[in-house]
């Protein structure tokens, strides 16, 4: 039996090694969508990520026979724990070779970290917030990933079962949605009715709206409100929102972003938002070790600006609770579907949805939707 050495990340150089392990482990994989190195660096850096205003974390690397064999982040989100009345330590950014000793040692490091901070359960994979990738892939290993979700090898959930003590905390599903040649008649009729009966209207955005007109802040404040009751969610602070605007909005084609406004209110309140982007999966696979230089930027630009993809990622879709039964989603997709058709997009990726969230899944009832991926968050008592 080989000894497994666990090393805590304690320098910027070691953090780079921590991030780079994923690129090495998944080199040449046809389905993994690697994160941009700089995005992970900013997210994991305690002096840059605004989530550290209410989170604490440590990062661990596993070495076997002197060679790096795995990594994991241990995270405590104090805001989420307070909101949900829990004492949970999260594990995230977990990767490991197919060796049960390695995976076990990594998770034990997180357990020990949690116990040292008075936690009584470990859950994951989760990030600092819901804006980070979450959930271990348990089905759909032959499906292309997205930039907002985790891809992992099939042996990961097998290890979770073998290690013992772990049980389901929450399951997610994802859907593949072929873009219809014609807008479903139901959407068209509902959209027309919504405008007349409820005075709800489509809002399209410009960069000026987002960066100078305050709509970037409004979009994410709306996401906060729409997502507040979802599993483990903790509201984003204004500083976090600014960081997400800086991270996501440069990637956005505003033709593919649609808001819904209530014109009954004096300021035309934003009550729904759909942020969708051309898939960057293949482009990111071509970025050497997640770097935009020297040539990665070109592949990303081709996907974003020259429509060199057939997939659209439905990145963030949120509607205020009191408007969900008023057809706001139908109005949104009645606007987006013709734009997808114009761009030559062939299908959409729904991102993660809780398996129990029938209302969210119900928004696809008038579209062909194919369940093609499942993932799980696990929990274990400490």
Q: Are 136 and 223 found together in one domain?
A: no
Q: Are 245 and 150 found together in one domain?
A: no
The residue among 98, 100, 210, 243 whose CA lies nearest residue 166 is 100
Confidence check: pLDDT of 358 > 80: no
The mean pLDDT of 35-63, rounded to a whole number, is 96
For residue 141, the SS3 value is coil
What does the pLDDT look like over 15-42, one tens digit per residue?
999 999 999 999 999 999 999 999 999 9
Q: From CA 87, how far away is CA 118, in angstroms rounded? A: 7
Domain that holds residue 119: 7-173
Identify the residue whose tokens are 């483990």: 232
Angle of helix 100-116 versus helix 155-163 axis, rounded to 10: 60
What one-character-per-residue DSSP string does 21-82 give? HHHHHTTT-SS--PPPHHHHHHHH-TTT-GGGGTEEEEEEEEEETTEEEEEEEEEEEHHHHH
Give Cα separations from 212 to 112, 215, 277 (angstroms).
46, 8, 21
Residue 379 covered by a domain: no
Confidence check: pLDDT of 9 > 90: yes
Tally of domains within the chain = 2
Which phi and psi (to 5°) does residue 349 adopt?
Answer: -110, 125
What does the pLDDT look like over 163-212, one tens digit per residue?
999 999 999 999 999 999 988 888 889 899 999 999 999 999 999 999 98
What does the pLDDT look like over 109-159, one tens digit per residue?
999 999 999 999 999 999 999 889 999 999 999 999 999 999 999 999 999
Q: Are 139 and 220 found together in one domain?
A: no
Most confident of 236-250, 255-269, 280-294, 349-363: 255-269
Q: Are 146 and 188 found together in one domain?
A: no
Residue 381 covered by a domain: no
Is 363 or 97 the better-scoring residue by pLDDT? 97
Q: Are 359 and 340 found together in one domain?
A: yes
- Domain final position from 150, 173, 196: 173
Write down the pTM of the prediction: 0.93
The number of residues making up the chain comes to 382
Confidence check: pLDDT of 1 > 90: no
Confidence check: pLDDT of 244 > 80: yes
Q: Are 185 and 104 found together in one domain?
A: no
Beta pairing partners, 371: 175
- Domain final position from 111, 146, 173: 173
- Residue 91, both tokens: 């594990």
Give Cα separations from 302 to 148, 225, 263, 347 (angstroms).
19, 34, 37, 18
- Domain final position from 110, 141, 173: 173
């Amino acid at each position: 039996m080989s000894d497994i050495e666990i090393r805590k990340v304690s320098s910027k150089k070691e953090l780079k090694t921590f991030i780079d392990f994923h690129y090495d482990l998944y080199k040449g994989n046809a389905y993994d969508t690697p994160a941009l190195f700089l995005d992970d660096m900013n997210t994991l850096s305690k002096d840059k990520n605004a989530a550290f205003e209410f989170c604490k974390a440590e990062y661990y690397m596993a070495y076997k026979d002197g060679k790096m064999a795995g990594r994991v982040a241990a995270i405590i989100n104090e805001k989420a724990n307070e909101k949900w009345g829990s004492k949970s330590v999260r594990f995230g950014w977990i990767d490991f070779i197919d060796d049960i000793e390695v995976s076990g040692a990594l998770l034990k490091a997180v357990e020990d970290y949690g116990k040292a901070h008075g936690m009584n359960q470990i859950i994951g994979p989760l990030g600092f917030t819901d804006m980070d990738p979450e959930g271990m892939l348990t089905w759909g290993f032959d499906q292309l990933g997205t930039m907002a979700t985790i891809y992992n090898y099939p042996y990961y959930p097998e290890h979770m079962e073998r290690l013992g003590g772990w049980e389901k905390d929450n399951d997610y599903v994802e859907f593949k949605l072929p873009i219809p040649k014609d807008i479903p008649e139901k959407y068209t009729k509902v959209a027309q009715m919504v405008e007349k009966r409820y005075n709800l209207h489509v809002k399209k955005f410009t960069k000026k709206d987002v960066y100078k007109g305050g709509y970037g802040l409004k979009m994410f404040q709306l996401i906060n409100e729409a997502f507040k009751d979802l599993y483990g969610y903790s509201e984003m602070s204004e500083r976090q929102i600014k960081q997400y605007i800086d991270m996501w909005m440069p990637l956005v084609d505003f033709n593919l972003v649609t808001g819904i406004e209530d014109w009954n209110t004096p300021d035309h309140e934003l009550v729904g938002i759909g942020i969708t982007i051309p898939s960057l999966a293949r482009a990111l696979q071509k970025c050497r070790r997640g770097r935009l230089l020297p040539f990665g930027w070109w592949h990303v630009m081709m996907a974003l600006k020259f429509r060199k993809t057939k997939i659209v990622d439905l990145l963030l879709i949120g509607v205020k609770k009191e408007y969900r039964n008023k057809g706001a989603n139908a109005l949104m997709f009645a606007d987006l579907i013709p734009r997808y058709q114009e761009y030559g997009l062939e299908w959409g990726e729904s991102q993660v949805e809780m398996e129990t969230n029938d209302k969210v899944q119900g928004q696809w009832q008038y579209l062909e939707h194919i369940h093609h991926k499942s993932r799980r968050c696990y929990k274990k008592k400490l």
